[in-house]
Amino acid sequence: MQLPNDYLERVYAGVLGKLVGVYLGRPFEGWTYQRIMEELGPIEYYVHERLNQPLVVTDDDVAGTFTFIRALEDYGVKTNLSAEEIGKAWLNYIVEDRAILWWGGNGNSTEHTAWLNLKSGIAAPESGSTAKNGQAVAEQIGAQIFIDGWAMVAPRQPELAAKLAEQAGKVSHDGESVYAAMLWAAMEAEAFGSSDIDHLLDTGLAQIPGDSLIAKLIADVRAWHKAHPDWRDTRQKIQDNYGYDKYPGNCHVVPNHALMVMAALYAPHDFQKAQMIVNTSGWDTDCNAGNVGCLLGIMNGLEGLDEGPDWRGPIADRMLISSADGGNSINDAVRQAYYLTNLGLELAGGQKLTAPKDGAQFHFSLPGSQQGFRIQSGQNESKAVRIGNAEYAGGRALSVDYEALGPAQVAAVTSPTFSPREMLDMRTYDLMATPLVYPGQVVKARVVAAADNNGVVEVKLRARIYDERDQLRDVESVAVTIEAGKEALLEWTLPDTGGQPIAELGLAISSTGKRADGRILLDYLRWDGAPALTLRRPAGDCDFWRMSWVNGASFFSKRFPQAFRISQNRGEGIIIHGTRQWTDYQASGDVMMHLGNYGGMAVRAQGLRRYYGARVTRDGQMQIVRVRDEDTKVLAETAFKTEFEKPISMRVSANGDTITFEADGVSLSAQDTDPEAYADGGFGLLVHEGALSSNEIRIGAA
C-alpha cells in the first residue's frame, strides 16, 4: 500500500475540517432549517458570538473521535482491533457523568446506554447491539460522528477504514447507524487518493449491504441532486422522505446522513459552500458539519480550507479532548495530526515521523499552524500585533509582527496549557483536564529577530497562572535583549505557583525605550524535566486548582477542611493530576482513610483503569498493584495495620521499571518488566467504596 506523499498535511487538513465543522455547527445544534433561516439566515461563517457562546468548546464529536482512536495505542497498532478492545478504552477514558458523552440517561442517550452496559460487564459488541438496546436506541447518530480518526489512520484503505469504524461503532450502535459509519469512513480513507465524489460514494457503498436503508437513501439523494440544481429543493425532499418525524429517538442517523451526502454532492470542492449547506439545513449540525468538514479537508487539502473565509484563524488549531487522561485534553490540531499520521504509518508497516525540533511541544511545522497561540489583550498589551506562520531555516516558525511598540507596551502571545476561563460558559459537556506544564519544569524557547526590524526589543517567557479569584496573573522570566537579525535561547525554570495551575505559556515582547516595529519568530517552545511542586489548597476562594484534577470519584469537594477529600459510592474512585510526560518521579504526603476497602496513591496513571497503585487495605495488607482494565495484578505486598481516621505517611516512587512504596516506615518494592508495563502517566489518589483525604502532596524527581 502506497501512502500519499502529502499524508501528514492531508491528515492535518482533515482534523482542521472536523474542528471547523463542529465549532461552526455547535451553537445551534438541533435547530430545524426553518428556525435557522428565521433567526440566523444562511450559515456563512461562525455565529457563536451572535448566540453568546465560546467558539472552542468541549463537544462529544471532538472528544470521542480523538479519544477512542487511542485503543490502537493501548491494545496494539493492528488491523484486527476488536470492538471489545475499543469498549475497554471507553471504560478507561470516559469519566461517568462528566467526560466525552451526552449523559442523557439509559434509553435516551445511546452512548450512555452502551456505557452502562460496558460498566456492568456486558462487553462490546453486545453493549451496543439492537438485541440488547432495541433498534431505536441502536440506530441513533453516534457511530457516525466518531469515525474520522479510523479513516485518517487508513489512507487509501477503504476496506480497513470501514472495518475499524464497524468495530468502533458496534461498541454503542448497530444496524443502519453502523452502516453509515462504515460508509463515511471508507469515503474519507479513499479521499486521500481521489477527489471524485461519485467514486467516493461508490467506494463507501461497496462496504455496506446493498439493500440497507443507507444505500437506498444515497440512491435517492443522488437522484434528487441530478434533478434539482438548487440544494434547497433536495433538502426539502430529504425532510419529506427521511425527516426526523419518520424515525424514533432524538437524533436518528438516517436524516442526518442524508444531509451530509447532499452537502458533499452539491459542493464537493467548495469547503465554505458545503459548510453553509449542511449547517443551514439544520438538525444535528455540529455532527454533520464535522464529518463533512473532515471529508472535504482530506479530499481538498489545506488549500481547500483556505480558499474561502478565514476558518482557521479564530480556532488557531485549538481543541479540547475531555477524558480521564487529562494531559491529552488541552490539545491542538498539529499534535493530533502527527499522532494520527504515526498510527497510520505504523499500521502500514512504515517508519514513524521524526518528532520535529527534537520533540518540542510547540514547533509550528505545518503550514499555517499556530498551535493555540493567540494575541493577549489588556491594559498594557499592544493591539497592533499579528500572528502568522512563516518559513524559516528550512522549516516553519510562529511569526509575531508588531507595529509602533512603545516602552509602556507589550506584544504578548500565549497558548493554553490548561482549561481556559471560557469553560465556565460552556454548556452540556464538562472538561476533564490537567495542566500540560508544572513548576520545576524547564521551559526553553528559541526566538529570532528579523533582519529588517526597527528598534531593539526585550523578550520574556510568560506564564499565566490562576489566582485566588480564578483570574489570570502574569509571571515572567528574565528579559533577553534581541537586536535585528539576532537570535536567543530563552530558558526558565517555572517557579512555585502556590498550588495554582499554569493556564497559558508564551512570549512577552517589549521595546527597550524607543519605538519598535518588526517581527519575532518563535522557532519552538518546549518544557522538560520532572515537576517539582506541592499540591495543596491555594489561598482564596477559587476553583481552578480543584478542576485541574481529573475527577473520577463520586464526590470531590473543596468545602471539607482537607484540601483533597474524595468519596466513592460504588467500586473504585480516583482523582488524577499530571500528564503522560511524567515518567520517573516520586510523590509523598499524609493520606487518611475514613472508610473503604482500600485506598492510597497511584503513579503513572493513564486513565481510570491503567495505573500502578500503592495502597493499604482494610484487611491488613500493603500492596503495589498494576491495574489494567478489569485485571488487577499484585506486584508486591506485605502486612500493614490500616486504621481509619489516622494519617498514614506515604511515599511512592516510579523509577525505570521499579515502583517503591513506603507507608509509616514500612517499605515495599516491585519491578515490572512486562512488555506492557507503564512508562509514564500522572499521579492519583484512590479509594474503594469509602472516603480518603490528604492536605498536601509533594511531587518531585525520583
Among left, alpha and beta (phi > 0; psi -120 to 50; other), residue 224 is alpha
- Statement: residue 204 has pLDDT above 70: yes
Q: Domain 549-701, CATH 1.10.10.10 — does that match?
A: no
The angle, 0 to 180 degrees and rounded to 10, between the axes of the packed helices 176-190 and 285-306 is: 0
Half-sphere exposure of 331 (CA within 13 A, CB side): 30
- Cβ neighbour number for residue 518 with a 10 Å cutoff: 20
pLDDT of residue 425: 81
pLDDT band at 188 (very low <50, low <70, confident <90, very high): very high
Give the model's confidence band at 407: pLDDT under 50 very low, under 70 low, under 90 confident, else very high. confident
Residues 608-633 have a mean pLDDT of 98
Which carries the bigger pLDDT value, residue 430 or residue 361?
361
Amino acid present at 481? T
State the pLDDT confidence band at 39, using cuts at 50, 70 and 90. very high
Give the pLDDT confidence score for residue 467 in this predicted structure: 96
Q: Report CA torsion sign: 36, 40, 44, 47.
A: negative
Average pLDDT over residues 137-153: 97
Local structure of residue 690 (DSSP, 8 states): S
Report how far apart the first and last C-alpha atoms of the chain are (Å, whole number). 45
Confidence of residue 1 (pLDDT cuts 50, 70, 90): low
- 306-322 pLDDT tens trace: 999 999 999 999 999 99
Class of domain 27-326: mainly alpha
3-state SS assignment for residue 590: strand
Q: Who contacts 193 (Cβ-Cβ below 8 Å, separation ≥6)?
A: 4, 155, 156
Q: Residue 380 has what pLDDT?
A: 79
Write the pLDDT tens digit of every residue in 104-122.
999 999 999 999 999 999 9
Residue 300 pLDDT greater than 70, yes or no: yes
Domain with CATH 2.60.120.560 in the chain: 549-701
Average pLDDT over residues 482-500: 97
- Looking at the predicted structure, is the pLDDT value of residue 5 above 80? yes
pLDDT value, residue 379: 72
Homologous superfamily of 374-529 in CATH? Answer: Galactose-binding domain-like (2.60.120.260)
pLDDT band at 406 (very low <50, low <70, confident <90, very high): confident
CA distance 317 to 370: 6
Mean pLDDT on 512-538 = 95
Residues of the chain within CATH 2.60.120.260 domain(s) are 374-529
Mean pLDDT of 509-538: 95
pLDDT for the residue 497: 97
Q: For position 221, what pLDDT does the model report?
A: 98
Q: What is the pLDDT of residues 318-346, one digit of tens each?
A: 999 999 999 999 999 999 999 999 999 99
pTM of the model: 0.97
- Please provide the average confidence, as pLDDT, over all residues in the chain: 97
pLDDT the model gives residue 208:
98
Could you tell me the pLDDT band of residue 351, with boundaries at 50, 70 and 90?
very high
Give the residue from 423, 414, 426, 506 showing the smallest Cα distance to 470. 423
Q: How many CA atoms lie within 13 A of 150 on its CB side?
A: 35
The pLDDT of residue 514: 81
- Delimiting residues of CATH 1.10.4080.10 domain(s) in the chain: 27-326
At 2, the pLDDT band (50, 70, 90 cuts) reads confident
The pLDDT of residue 408 is 82
Residue 606 pLDDT: 98
DSSP tally for the chain: helices H, then strands E: 21, 29
